[in-house]
Amino acid sequence: MKTKIYLLPGLMCDERLWSRIASFLNEKYELIHLSIPLLNSFDEICEYLYTHIEDEKINLLGFSLGGYIASYFAIKYPQRVKRLFVIAATLCSLSKDEKNKRKETLELIEKYGFKGISRKKVISLLLKENANDNELISLVQEMYVDLGYEVFKTQMTSSLDRKNLLEGFLELSVPVIYCYSTEDRLLDYGWIKDFTDLNNKARCVLIEGNSHMLPLEEPSTLSFEIKSWLKIPEYMA
């Protein structure tokens, strides 16, 4: 029987986010693709996952917004998680400016319509050397278009009010890996410094560069770390 990995994608992402990493894992692992429930708060989202995930304890991996949700879930329901792997996520509240920026974005879309994500915006999330990777850029744009405005609106609105998860994250007793790029412009490095200063249990994996879309840009490195994570016995956390 293959070991199961439950995957939570990021904002406006679906299972295509994991398409480049799947070939490294499919032989020995079963990838269970979760969607972010279209609900109004992290408590409601996690309660839904708690109810609808059939396995009693799971290996949970989340990217970006999915990384925040995965961490929230592990803190809220530690008895349901064997291991936790977090990619490119800052586990704290949004700044006032960031909240206002997101609200303004929603207002503009209400007024002028939803047009997905621009090529320029996608490129800003990628490694500099992938700025001309049309296949990769199109993949990200297609996820936005296919998921559409209602998903965008719900995910943006439900994720505005975030708690700082630092204390709960540090207290987790399961094997945890926290992975991020050293120059990812979407991360709060003040929070990361607080975490690394206090952390004495979770393994941090730093990947050089500015990539936010690590599952699509660093599948080999991530798959190696995922395989290592799955070998850690639960009692060693």
User: What does each of the 237 residues of the chain score in pLDDT, given as a tens digit?
Assistant: 899 999 999 999 999 999 999 999 999 999 999 999 999 999 999 999 999 999 999 999 999 999 999 999 999 999 999 999 999 999 999 999 999 999 999 999 999 999 999 999 999 999 999 999 999 999 999 999 999 999 999 999 999 999 999 999 999 999 999 999 999 999 999 999 999 999 999 999 999 999 999 999 999 999 999 999 999 887 554
**Residue limits of CATH 3.40.50.1820 in the chain:** 3-94+162-236
Q: What does the chain come to in residues?
A: 237
Structure pTM?
A: 0.96
Helix (H) or strand (E) holding 63: strand 58-63
CATH of domain 3-94+162-236: 3.40.50.1820
> Token pair 């692992």 is at which residue?
29
Give the containing element (helix H, strand E) for 62.
strand 58-63
